[in-house]
Copies of this chain bind each other. A is one copy, B any other.
Amino acid sequence: MKAPQDVFTEYLANENLKMTPQRRLILDTMLKQEGHLSSEELYVYVKKRDSSIGQATVYRTLKLLSDSGLVEPLDFADGVTRYEPSYGKDHHDHLICERCGKNIEILDDTIERRQEELAAEHGFTLLKHKMYLYGICADCRK
């Protein structure tokens, strides 16, 4: 599997876009973080490494990373778009504790298959789906 940095560089070249130190740094920072980062959060980390980088560049780069398939936007419906590295990772959905915010990655073949079937039954070609389960985790229920 290609390194993410190479994937990004190739994507940029393909689109007649350019690799820059900013883009390299933002991708690197994104990949080093675990879990789900908002643009704002990523911006904070990025600024620690290069305080001259502007917030707009982070927004713009995240869009590129998303278009190139390296990260995936998540939508927990709190008004903030978060991203997670997705390159080389299996698809998964999310199980979220409404009390403590705990966020567990889940995957279920039965559901995935039924989603395909359901779409087909309605004449749709399925492109993607979003599934979020919200509940209270065991710790919070104690």
Contacts and interface: CB of A to CB of B under 8 A. Distances in A.
Nearest to A110: B114
B134 A132 contact: no
A125 B140 CA distance: 10
Nearest to A104: B122
B111 A136 contact: no
Interface string A124-142: 1111111111111110010
Given A77-B75, A119-B95, A136 B114 contact: no
Contacts of A90: none
B119 A135 contact: yes
Copies in the complex: 2
A108 to B, nearest CB: 5
Contacts of A128: 134-135
A95 B77 CA distance: 18
A110 B108 CA distance: 12
A111 to B, nearest CB: 5
Contacts of A108: 114, 118
10 contacts: A95-B119, A98-B127, A110-B110, A111-B111, A119-B133, A126-B135, A127-B135, A129-B133, A129-B134, A130-B132
